[in-house]
Amino acid sequence: MKPSITISLPSLAHKITTAGISEINSVIAPYGCIVKRIRRSRNYVLIGTYKDLVTARPAFGQLVDSKHCLKWQRVYQSYLAGLHQLGEASESATYEIKNFTASLGKTDRSFLLEKLAEIGIDAKRKANQRHLEFAGGLAKLNALQSILQSATSEPLVGIGKSIHKRLSTYNDIENLGFDYGKTEKPRTLLSYVVDNPANTVAELCFLTNCSTADARKALDDYFEL
């Protein structure tokens, strides 16, 4: 059995109150997860195995959606960010395309290499450049297989299906996702402001990890539209 791991949820009681923490625990307890306070500090952690933390996501997300509250959304974003980091650190896989040059045309090869670079998956050529091997966190590979299976090229679709089959031998990560797999272009700061013009500079920095200057510019751009 894999050991339990933790996701940090700073200042949780301040954001959603102790009653809110009890609600989260009631929702995630069936999945073997629990939220606990770190000694007598303001900070809490979400504890469970990697698989259990992933499996609990839909139920946790439904609870957050029912609240219609930005503070709850911020807690959920911390949870998702923690899942992504755990997926990168603790779960990864490799995949190899035999006779890379012969099996894919020039256009398909360029498309695949471009997507590998954009998503951030490491790739290297092997055996006198004939084979292509790439490795990465499961969430990124999951995003890649989704993109390839949506391509118009049959060879690329076949590779996408093969990667998906390989991923199925690991923990279920269908619900983990990766931002690039959901949208072909990363979200801009302005899109966060459009979604919620009441966002403050501090809230934008928390949601996107941007700088204070970039957050102020996004707010200024929105109100100049």
Average pLDDT score over the chain: 78
Residue 91 confidence (pLDDT):
59
Q: Average the pLDDT over each of 14-18, 172-176, 187-191 and give the range with the smallest value.
A: 172-176
- CB atoms under 10 Å from CB of 63, counted, come to 17
SS3 state of residue 163 = helix
Residue 89 clears pLDDT 60, i.e. is over it: no
Q: Could you give phi then psi for residue 149, rounded to 5 degrees? A: -70, -15
How many residues are recorded in the chain?
Answer: 225
Q: Please indicate, yes or no, whether the overall pTM of this predicted structure exceeds 0.85.
A: no
Q: pLDDT tier at 180 (50, 70, 90 boundaries)?
A: very low
Q: Looking at residues 52-71, what average pLDDT do you find? A: 89
More confident residue, 27 or 208: 27
